[in-house]
């Protein structure tokens, strides 16, 4: 018999996969903007705005650093 712990872990893995695919499909700015709009409708705006803004800023820094590093590597070490 499958234990409830195994089912819980399986559910978490599936939910994380769906969340990652949603973010990839929509783009992270669109996804977190939608979360923010949904929070405004529910009424928990201040906390969700702070969280989504922090996440957007962090992801923006990660993406800009990654693209900057890739551009610098392409300039310094040209591809053949």
Q: Does the pLDDT value for residue 80 go beyond 60?
A: no
**Selection from 9, 63, 54 nearest residue 36 by Cα:** 54
CA distances from 15 to 18, 31, 36, 71 (A): 5, 15, 20, 35
Please give the model's pTM, rounded to 2 decimal places. 0.43
Q: What domain range is 19 assigned to?
A: 4-76
Mean pLDDT of 2-18: 87
Rounded average pLDDT over 47-63: 78
**Per the structure, how many domains does the chain have?**
1
- What mean pLDDT comes out for the span 42-66? 76
| pLDDT tens-digit map of 30-49 | 877 887 788 777 776 677 77
Residue 13's pLDDT is 92
């Amino acid at each position: 018999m499958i234990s409830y712990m195994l089912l819980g872990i399986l559910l978490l893995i599936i939910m994380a996969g769906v969340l990652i695919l949603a973010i990839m499909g929509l783009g992270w700015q669109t996804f977190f903007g939608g979360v923010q709009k949904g929070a405004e409708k529910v009424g928990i705006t201040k906390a969700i705005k702070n969280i989504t803004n922090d996440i957007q800023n962090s992801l923006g820094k990660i993406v800009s650093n990654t693209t900057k590093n890739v551009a610098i590597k392409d300039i310094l070490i040209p591809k053949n």
